[in-house]
Amino acid sequence: MRDLLFKNLTSQDRKKRIITCSEIVDKQGIRSIIHRHFVCMVKEVDINQTEKPLPYLYVLKERDTHNQIEKFFCRIKGSVYFLYNDKLYLILYAHSLKIGLRALPQGIEA
């Protein structure tokens, strides 16, 4: 069994976009739950102002063998400058990935 949910949200001024995807898969006695999240924001900046935010990476992995659960979480934040029609823009983005694995009780199969 596989359940998918997609969301694609854009702000009225089209300067911010959020894309999310959730997936639940039951296969071979294991339930995997996967959440992906992407946020992107565009800002016009002054050419003299070029201080870019520092990139960010966060990773967390947990394993619980007693309850047969495993979790993984990763978040990446960054930014990129680009020049378009003699205007300087800063794109800020953040990606996150969350994966959860759990053993299904005996007798439940996809």
In a domain, 16, yes or no: yes
Claim: this prediction has a pTM higher than 0.85: no
Q: Is the dihedral of CA 19, 22, 71, 2 positive or negative?
A: negative
Both ends of the chain: CA-CA distance in Å? 5
Q: CB-hemisphere CA count at 13 Å for 32? A: 13
pLDDT of residue 107: 60
Is 68 domain-assigned? yes
Among residues of the chain, what percentage have pLDDT more than 90? 45
Task: Say how many C-beta atoms besides its own lie within 10 A of residue 17's C-beta.
Answer: 15
Taking a C-beta distance cutoff of 8 angstroms, is the pair 20, 95 a contact?
Answer: no
The string of pLDDT tens digits covering residues 74-97 is 999 999 998 889 888 999 999 999
Give me the domain span that covers residue 68. 2-103
Torsion over CA: 63, 69, 70, 73 (sign): negative
Question: Is 9 part of a structural domain of the chain?
Answer: yes
Do the domain assignments include residue 42?
Answer: yes
Flag whether 110 is in a domain: no
Q: How many domains does the chain have?
A: 1
Q: Does some domain include residue 109?
A: no
Whole-number Cα distances in Å, 101 to 27, 31, 38, 61: 11, 6, 21, 11
